[in-house]
Structure formats: structure tokens, C-alpha cells
Amino acid sequence: MRQMKRNIKTRRTPEEDRLLQIIAKNLKKLRIENNLTQEKAADALKMHLVSYQKYESQRPYHMKVFTLYKIAQYFDVTVDSLLK
């Protein structure tokens, strides 16, 4: 099996970086479509503003599956749609 190269700074593989980029783009799009500020979205999802901002700017070190599920539930979309 081929070893995936990781970004030295983030310790993520290129695939992980790409997936976080997709999630960030979709999260921002949903927030804007729903006329929410980052603060209101973070409050509604019961998370710290800084955490929300990291998700939207693809800077988290990781994202828990439950967080992804919680976001999908709040915006009434599927988890799958956040990943495409």
C-alpha cells in the first residue's frame, strides 16, 4: 500500500485537505443562503465562534463525525451533500 504524503504543517493528507475544502465551501454557502452571520450559525450549532470559523476556513485539525451530522441536521441537508 502506498504511503500518502502529509502536509508537514497540518499533518493532513492531500485528500483530507481537499475534503475539508469542500466542507468549508458548502458550509459557507449554506450559511449565506440562510442569511446567517458566523456568530449566529455558531450559536445555533452550540459551538464556539472560533471553532465554527475554522470549519468554514478549512483550518480544523480534524472534524468529528458528530459535528458534521449536527451541521447537516441544522441546515436540513444530508451529510453526503456537505461532502460533495
Which residues are CB-neighbours of 28 under 8 A, at least 6 positions away?
56
Could you give the CA distance from residue 68 to residue 65 in angstroms, rounded to a whole number? 5
Q: Kindly report the CATH number assigned to the domain that includes residue 67.
A: 1.10.260.40
Position 5 in a domain = no
Position 54 in a domain = yes
Which pTM does this prediction carry?
0.84
Task: Please state, in angstroms and as integers, the Cα–Cα distance from residue 18 to each residue in 14, 35, 45, following that order.
Answer: 6, 26, 24
Query: To 5 degrees, how large is the angle CA 77–CA 58–CA 50?
Result: 90
What per-residue confidence (pLDDT) applies to 7?
Answer: 54
Q: What is the pLDDT along the chain (84 residues), one digit of tens a residue?
A: 556 565 555 578 889 889 999 999 999 999 999 999 999 999 999 999 999 999 999 887 788 999 999 999 999 999 999 999
The runs of H, that is alpha helices, within 1-84 are 14-33, 38-44, 49-56, 65-75, 79-82
Position 4 in a domain = no
What per-residue confidence (pLDDT) applies to 6?
Answer: 55
Number of domains present in the structure of the chain: 1
What per-residue confidence (pLDDT) applies to 51?
Answer: 94
- Range of 69's domain? 14-82
Position 9 in a domain = no
